Structure 1
Amino acid sequence: MSYLILISHGQFAEGLKDALGMFIGDDIKTVKAIGLQSGESTDQFQNRFKALLSEVGKGAELFVLGDIIGGSPLTTAIDVLNQENLLESAVVLGGMNFPMALNTAILKDNATKEELITNVLREGATALKQFEITRETEDDDEI
């Protein structure tokens, strides 16, 4: 079975998981979320991440999205994945946003790792846009 693990500072990962549930329904069972809480040590976070990994079980395919590459939550999780000999088989991406999480949740069971990485990174980047108001001209109203 494959799992999507969302990792963040604070409650971001849990909130993102909640929003994903509105789009992926029962597949939310294969999404896990964990965040380094304010005042929590990295050792405490590491223990909670180890417990989360024990929930998914050995042999699970892991797709990990973190909020910031180089941030304490993701680097701690990577350390644990490495200790558990899971890092080489896991896909780890940073800069997590909703389109990345949604695409990973949808593609993780049906695409190759390479296809998933390409599509998820493209969708995450494509979603970054400035909202602009466009005004209709008077000619548009006459049609």
Structure 2
Amino acid sequence: MRYLLIVSHGTFAPGLHSVLDMLVGERDDVLDCCMTSDMGAEAYVQKLEETVAPIGADDSVFLFGDVIGGSPLTNAMNVLTKKGIMERLTVFGGANLPMVITAAMEADEDDATLKERVIAEGQAAIREFVLDLGGDEDEDL
């Protein structure tokens, strides 16, 4: 099984997970863990170990973090390495909703193909939204 693990500072990870559940339905293969402001590194690692307990030795993981190099992501990588998952771990930083939706909706794809699609969707979602506020008063909005 391939798991999607979302980790973050604050409540970004559970929020992203919640929106994913709304859009694609609840799934057993999506996990989240967040590091809150009142939590030290040890408490976060303990919570993370509990979160990833269902992941088995033969499973793979797509790990989504809010910030590359941030404590939630680096600690998640360490915990998964201790579980023996490193060879089947794909790590993404700067996670956004389109990336996670793609990973969830195209779960049947092989890891390499899915990785390319996740990155492409994440990049495509980042752009400026520009309104055309032209002065033509006769046009309907």
After TM superposition, the score normalised by the length of structure 1 is 0.88
1:72 partner amino acid:
S
Q: Matches of residues 2-81 of structure 1 in structure 2 within 5 Å? A: 2-26=2-26, 28-81=27-80
Q: Distance in 2 between matches of 1:130 and 1:53?
A: 36
Q: Distance in 1 between matches of 2:37 and 2:65?
A: 17
Answer yes or no: is 1:128 the counterpart of 2:112.
no
2:32 partner amino acid:
A
Query: What CA deviation, in whole Å up to 9, does each residue of 1:90-140 have, x standing for no partner?
Result: 111111011111111112x311111111111111011111111124685x9
Task: Report the aligned-residue RMSD.
Answer: 1.8
Q: Which residue of 2 aligns with 1:99?
A: 98
After TM superposition, the score normalised by the length of structure 2 is 0.89
Q: Distance in 1 between matches of 2:59 and 2:109?
A: 16
Gaps spanning 5+ residues in structure 2: where?
Answer: none
Query: What CA deviation, in whole Å up to 9, does each residue of 1:53-75 have, x standing for no partner?
Result: 21233322211101111000000
Question: Aligned pairs, how many?
Answer: 139
Gaps spanning 5+ residues in structure 1: where?
Answer: none
Q: Distance in 2 between matches of 1:46 and 1:87?
A: 17
- Contact kept? 2:11, 2:36, Cα under 8 Å: yes
Q: Distance in 2 between matches of 1:49 and 1:88?
A: 19
- Contact kept? 2:59, 2:88, Cα under 8 Å: no
Answer 1 or 2: which has greater helix percent.
1
Q: Which stretch of the first structure deviates more once superposed, 128-137 or 80-89?
A: 128-137
Q: Secondary structure at the match of 2:129?
A: coil
Answer yes or no: is 1:114 the counterpart of 2:112.
yes
Q: Distance in 1 between matches of 2:75 and 2:117?
A: 26
